[in-house]
């Protein structure tokens, strides 16, 4: 395993080194020591490498990730895995606001809780939160799946497009145009697969599904009160 110690090396050194790893490299396993809440750790990666960050990170850890697996042993600051394209990001602790924002692909697993706006404007990413999520999560979510094993805060799925939301616990309130939907066999299968990939021991049947009512897809003045 290769080691980069942020106590002695710069953030620039870290990202240059990790971004330089190509598909054929033998150095596929990396660890980052002493992150100490630094921002933009392991951003813009584009190789099937495994990076373990030993500690907690600041903003935008694993931002725009492609292919790589990034594992944070502590908690993550705002915007973890923002705009992720592919790969996997695992947070052992909690995640702050905007986790997985605008993500287009890949899997984000948060083993603790996620704060507000988790999955905001998500565009294809899969997010599995083992704890609870904060308010306005999946706001304007376009595509992908958000799985919440705990409870969801206020205004879940506000102004939702086509993202699918699965919640096992309570939902404090649903946002504009977000409704509970029937859990059909294909949804159970999607959920089963996501739980398995995230290593979560839970039954899909315990979850409820939420999605867009599609009433606000085309502007109509009679819906103005909904905004």
Interface contacts to another protein, rule CB under 8 A: 11-12, 15-16, 19, 39-40, 43-44, 46, 58-60, 63-64, 66, 78-79, 82-83, 85, 97-98, 101-102, 104, 117, 120-121, 123-124, 139-140, 142-143, 159, 161-162, 217-219, 221-222
d(CA 55, CA 34): 7
Residue 104 CB, shortest distance to another protein, in Å, is 7
Secondary structure element (H or E) that encloses residue 51, with its range: strand 50-54
- For the stretch 64-72, contacts whose Cβ atoms lie closer than 8 Å and that sit 24 or more positions apart, written own/partner, are 65/89, 65/106, 68/18, 68/42, 70/42, 70/45, 72/35
113 in Cβ contact with 129 (< 8 Å): yes
Residue (107 or 195) nearer to another protein, CB: 107
135 in Cβ contact with 115 (< 8 Å): no
Residue 170 CB, shortest distance to another protein, in Å, is 25
* Overall size of the chain counted in residues: 227
Residue (59 or 207) nearer to another protein, CB: 59
Residue 117 CB, shortest distance to another protein, in Å, is 7
Residue (162 or 200) nearer to another protein, CB: 162
Residue (55 or 141) nearer to another protein, CB: 141
Residue 12 CB, shortest distance to another protein, in Å, is 7
Question: 47: helix, coil or strand?
Answer: coil
Residue 222 CB, shortest distance to another protein, in Å, is 8
Q: How many CA atoms lie less than 13 Å away from 6 in the CB half-sphere?
A: 23
- Give phi and psi for 197, each to the nearest 5: -65, -30
Residue (39 or 208) nearer to another protein, CB: 39
43 in Cβ contact with 23 (< 8 Å): no
Residue (158 or 195) nearer to another protein, CB: 158
State in Å, rounded, how far the first CA of the chain is from the last one: 52
Residue 63 CB, shortest distance to another protein, in Å, is 5
């Amino acid at each position: 395993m290769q080691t980069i110690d942020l106590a002695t090396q710069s953030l620039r050194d870290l990202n240059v080194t990790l971004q330089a790893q190509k598909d054929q490299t033998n150095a596929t396993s990396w660890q980052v020591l002493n992150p100490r809440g630094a921002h933009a750790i392991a951003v813009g990666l584009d190789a099937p490498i495994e990076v373990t960050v030993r500690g907690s990170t600041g903003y935008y850890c694993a931002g725009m990730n492609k292919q790589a697996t990034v594992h944070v042993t502590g908690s993550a600051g705002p915007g973890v895995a923002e705009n992720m394209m592919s790969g996997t990001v695992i947070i052992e602790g909690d995640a702050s606001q905007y986790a997985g924002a605008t993500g287009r692909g890949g899997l984000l697993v948060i083993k603790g809780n996620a704060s507000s706006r988790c999955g905001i404007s998500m565009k294809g990413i899969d997010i599995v939160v083992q704890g609870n999520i904060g308010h306005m999560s999946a706001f304007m979510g376009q595509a992908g799946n958000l799985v919440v094993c705990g409870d969801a805060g206020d205004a879940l799925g506000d102004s939702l497009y086509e993202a699918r939301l699965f919640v096992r616990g309570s939902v404090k309130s649903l946002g504009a145009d977000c409704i509970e939907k029937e859990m059909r066999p294909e949804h159970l299968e999607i959920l089963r697969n996501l739980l398995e990939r995230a290593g979560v021991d839970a039954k899909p049947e315990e979850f409820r599904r939420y999605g867009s009512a599609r009433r606000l897809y085309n502007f109509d003045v009679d819906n103005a009160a909904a905004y």
